[in-house]
């Protein structure tokens, strides 16, 4: 399956750009093309950056859909998702709603680990009263902060607080955590299910498109 992956964090670092695509390739065997929108080096982190990203995502999706069997918007806030779905003729998956939906299958209370002061709309809408929320990692105001040592350590501490507060499963509500491979670290440390938003989006494609397409991989 050919998957077009849209990053909303602008970067010229090829390793960072392709981190989510590599995760999907290794997990599902997809052939992934990753591209990022311009002009947003800190990604999506508030309402203004979300609104700025949406038309950029739509334009990039228009280009990528011509050579893809499906698209993934690799952002828990899913800028431009509805507009993109209305425009292109291939399935489009948003990472935030995919992660929240996956977390709900486990039952119990869902701990949300993401940016400080912000829960992405698609995540909060899906989880509703099942959500256990703390005020996010202390030093993480934008997704790129997870790339710094303080962001990593603060994310670990925040995840432990979620479990201590009664979370039965943790959903990573920022794909910045996917860039650093945080899910596997948390699973080992906390012994609870941890949902990575990027792989959740990939799982949705596997479930939706199933055998005929996957047999062509």
Domain boundaries, the chain: 2-95+199-214, 97-197
What lies within 8 Å, CB to CB, of 129 at 6+ separation is: none
Q: Tens digit of pLDDT for each residue in 138-186?
A: 899 999 999 999 999 999 999 999 999 999 999 999 999 999 999 999 9
Q: What proportion of the chain, given as a percentage, has pLDDT over 90?
A: 90
Instruction: Output DSSP code: residue 33.
Output: E
> What is the arithmetic mean of pLDDT over 90-118?
95
pLDDT beyond 60 at 134:
yes
> What is the arithmetic mean of pLDDT over 99-112?
95
pLDDT beyond 60 at 211:
no
Domain 2-95+199-214 identical in fold to domain 97-197: yes
Domain 97-197 has CATH 3.40.50.1860: yes
User: How many Å apart are CA 38 and CA 157, to the nearest integer?
Assistant: 32
pLDDT beyond 60 at 22:
yes
Looking at domain 2-95+199-214, its CATH class is alpha beta
Quickly state the pLDDT bin for 217 (edges 50, 70, 90). Answer: very low
């Amino acid at each position: 399956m050919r998957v077009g992956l849209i990053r909303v964090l602008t970067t010229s670092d090829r390793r960072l750009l392709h981190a989510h695509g590599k995760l999907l390739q290794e997990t599902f065997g997809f052939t992934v093309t990753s591209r990022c929108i311009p002009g947003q080096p800190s990604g999506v982190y508030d309402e203004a950056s979300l609104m700025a990203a949406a038309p950029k995502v739509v334009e990039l999706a228009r280009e990528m859909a011509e050579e893809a069997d499906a698209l993934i918007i690799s952002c828990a806030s899913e800028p431009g998702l509805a507009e993109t779905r209305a425009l292109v003729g291939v399935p489009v998956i948003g990472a935030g709603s995919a992660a929240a939906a996956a977390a709900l299958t486990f039952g119990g209370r869902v701990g949300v680990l993401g940016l400080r002061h912000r829960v992405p709309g698609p995540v909060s809408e899906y989880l509703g009263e099942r959500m256990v929320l703390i005020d996010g990692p202390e030093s993480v105001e934008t997704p790129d902060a997870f790339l710094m040592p303080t962001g990593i350590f603060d994310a670990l501490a925040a995840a432990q607080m979620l479990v201590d507060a009664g979370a039965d499963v943790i959903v990573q509500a920022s794909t910045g955590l996917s860039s650093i491979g945080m899910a596997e670290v948390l699973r080992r440390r906390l012994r609870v299910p941890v949902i990575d938003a990027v792989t959740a989006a990939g799982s949705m494609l596997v479930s939706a498109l199933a055998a005929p397409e996957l047999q062509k991989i």
